[in-house]
Structure 1
Amino acid sequence: MPAASSSPIPAGLGQLAGSDPARPDDLPGLLDRLRRLPDPRRLRGRRHPLSYVLALAACAVLAGAKSLTAIAEWAADAPDQLLLHCGAALRDPDRPYRAPSETTVRRVLQRVDGDALDAAVGGWLTARVDASRAADQDEYPPSGPVRAAVAVDGKSLRGAIRADGRRVHLLSALRDDGIVLAQREVDAKSNEITAFRPLLEPLDLTGAVVTFDALLTQTDHAKFLVEDKSAHYIAVLKGNHPTLHTLVKDLPWQDVPLMDRTRTAAHGRDGIRRLKAVTVPHLPFPHAGQGPSLPTRR
């Protein structure tokens, strides 16, 4: 069932929500990535390049648009100079640049390859932030080596419901600065476990520390991260690995020094997290060398 024009924006563009508005010098990099996406439309009848429609939609979301209608309205009000920066073509010298209609915006965003759009937008955001970080580090060099942290987590999108009534569920890889490096929709007949490797396969994770929850604590995932991606990992251990869970739980934690302690209150719960870690040789899990203590909650 086609979505209404007031439907929430696609997940790929949702990565942009809360980011700083695009500057003119940001747009060439975004357009270059969007031009690589396959165009789902028939050649006949196209009035606007796919990259132009998507670039306008991205700028609209960066400016605060939260629905397809809001994107189309923002594009209709955009000045000619911005349309030109986003890739508008001047078909007639006597006529101004034209923004795509609401119908065109809606159809393009419904039909574009979601995974490809996720990758293009995520790659652009990452490059954008990395350039800013590099400038900051030139001025204020870090005192020691810094490892990138990447958290892999699943979430169900509010307001995004399929025709059969099921909510859209995504598996995302988020960097420590909040940048979504990649995300994939979890198929209805599958789960997050099977989406883990395809999600991370295209990313450069060399030297990064990847964290994930107990569902994704799988031996194949650990081998993939260390052996194929040259990364490190921090995995949550629960009852899905009962022998290993018992072994780590029964370590003499009372003799291990406390490294950190935080206390938070949210959603009616008061939580205390204590961090301890100890090196444990020959843990029965691929490339595992340390056992962290379990957090305490109340």
Structure 2
Amino acid sequence: MTALLATAAAAVLAGAKSLVAIGEWVADAPQHVLAQLGFQADPLTGVIRPPHAGTIRLILLAVDGDVLDTAIGRYLQERRPAPEPAGAVRRAIAVDGKVLRGSRTPDQAATALPAAMDHIGNVLAQRQVADKSNEIPAFAPLLDPIDLEHTLITADALHTQHAHGAYLCARGAHYLAVVKKNHPGLHETVSGCPAATSRSTTTTAPAPTTATRSAASRPPGSTTSTTPEPARPSKWCAGDGRRRRAS
């Protein structure tokens, strides 16, 4: 089964977009490629016979997609670099969803696949959104197999949900959430946070004025008086596993 799944993945990476195309790709694959995929040679002839397209189709229909995604994600997590020493940059994981190209049919909506990816580029987990649902209920099941202790989770505004924040805090994770006007109460609260009392480590530089932009072109010894604009509060809300911060 491993060789058949590897064959399907390799064919798709090579540009195959259908089961027929996968079958054609493996039928044309040279012997050394079939050997690398895990197929065994005939002990009498020494030739590796490629699998039939129908066999690959049956395997793909029988495999549980979520179980396969979990297995691949676990494999990639085990291959990730060793944890950084204390005081180093915190590990970050981004949660985002994409629609599977070509999955929409006249009778079925397009397949959505939310995924969790670290900033090295490894997809650590992926799940298919249930029919007639969205990415919100899939958030916690997606992250369940991942060690979130002391990690920073980022996501788009869709996942700015109280339940998501509580879940991440319970897992010992930090989070950075985008606050938009789809949460009017929270948006108003964050907008009203004075920058002077913010606990955020992010600073806002003064906006350049005509005087500051042209200062370099003045003769030596000339002076000017400028008043920088005050820093503006950001529409971001951050959680550190213990409290919510806003700046």
Tell me, yes or no, if the aligned pair for 1:222 and 1:287 is still in contact at 8 Å: no
Q: Give the AA of the match of 1:258.
A: T
Measured at CA, do residues 286 and 215 of structure 1 come closer, stay the same or move farther in structure 2, by a change above 3 Å? farther
Q: Which residue of 2 aligns with 1:168?
A: 111
Q: CA RMSD in A?
A: 3.8
Runs of 5+ consecutive residues of structure 2 not aligned to the other structure? 208-230
Provide TM-score, normalisation by structure 1: 0.61
SS at match of 2:137: helix
Q: Which has the larger radius of gyration?
A: 2
Q: Which residue of 1 aligns with 2:92?
A: 149
Mapped pair 1:196 → 2:196 = no
Q: Give the AA of the match of 2:104.
A: I
SS at match of 1:152: strand
- The more displaced of 252-261 and 231-240 is 252-261
Mapped pair 1:81 → 2:14 = no
SS at match of 1:167: coil
Mapped pair 1:258 → 2:204 = yes
Measured at CA, do residues 67 and 149 of structure 1 come closer, stay the same or move farther in structure 2, by a change above 3 Å? farther
Query: Once the 2 structures are TM-superposed, how far is the Cα of residue 287 of structure 1 from its aligned partner?
Result: 3.7
SS at match of 2:186: helix
Q: In structure 2, how many angstroms separate the alpha carbons of the residues matched to 1:209 and 1:249?
A: 23
Query: Once the 2 structures are TM-superposed, how far is the Cα of residue 172 of structure 1 from its aligned partner?
Result: 1.5
Q: In structure 2, how many angstroms separate the alpha carbons of the residues matched to 1:66 and 1:143?
A: 46
Q: Which residue of 1 aligns with 2:101?
A: 158
Q: In structure 1, how many angstroms separate the alpha carbons of the residues matched to 2:12 and 2:3?
A: 14
- The more displaced of 241-250 and 119-128 is 119-128
| Matched pairs, number | 220
Runs of 5+ consecutive residues of structure 1 not aligned to the other structure? 1-49, 262-273, 293-298
Query: Once the 2 structures are TM-superposed, how far is the Cα of residue 200 of structure 1 from its aligned partner?
Result: 0.6
Q: In structure 2, how many angstroms separate the alpha carbons of the residues matched to 1:233 and 1:284?
A: 5
Q: In structure 1, how many angstroms separate the alpha carbons of the residues matched to 2:235 and 2:99?
A: 35
Tell me, yes or no, if the aligned pair for 1:52 and 1:86 is still in contact at 8 Å: yes
Q: In structure 2, how many angstroms separate the alpha carbons of the residues matched to 1:254 and 1:147?
A: 26
- The more displaced of 81-90 and 206-215 is 81-90
Q: In structure 2, how many angstroms separate the alpha carbons of the residues matched to 1:99 and 1:275?
A: 63
Tell me, yes or no, if the aligned pair for 2:26 and 2:50 is still in contact at 8 Å: yes
Q: Quick one: which of 59, 62, 68 aligns to 1:117?
A: 68
Measured at CA, do residues 275 and 102 of structure 1 come closer, stay the same or move farther in structure 2, by a change above 3 Å? farther
Q: Which residue of 2 aligns with 1:215?
A: 158
Measured at CA, do residues 100 and 254 of structure 1 come closer, stay the same or move farther in structure 2, by a change above 3 Å? same
Q: Which residue of 1 aligns with 2:228?
A: none
Of Structure 1 and Structure 2, the greater strand share is in 1
Mapped pair 1:233 → 2:188 = no
SS at match of 1:159: coil
Tell me, yes or no, if the aligned pair for 1:65 and 1:74 is still in contact at 8 Å: yes
Q: Which residue of 1 aligns with 2:215?
A: none
SS at match of 1:160: coil
Tell me, yes or no, if the aligned pair for 2:90 and 2:150 is still in contact at 8 Å: yes
Q: Deviations over 1:137-166 (max 9, x none)?
A: 9xxx99961222111122222211256231
Measured at CA, do residues 287 and 55 of structure 1 come closer, stay the same or move farther in structure 2, by a change above 3 Å? same
Query: Once the 2 structures are TM-superposed, how far is the Cα of residue 278 of structure 1 from its aligned partner?
Result: 11
Provide TM-score, normalisation by structure 2: 0.72
Query: Once the 2 structures are TM-superposed, how far is the Cα of residue 201 of structure 1 from its aligned partner?
Result: 0.4
Query: Once the 2 structures are TM-superposed, how far is the Cα of residue 255 of structure 1 from its aligned partner?
Result: 8.5
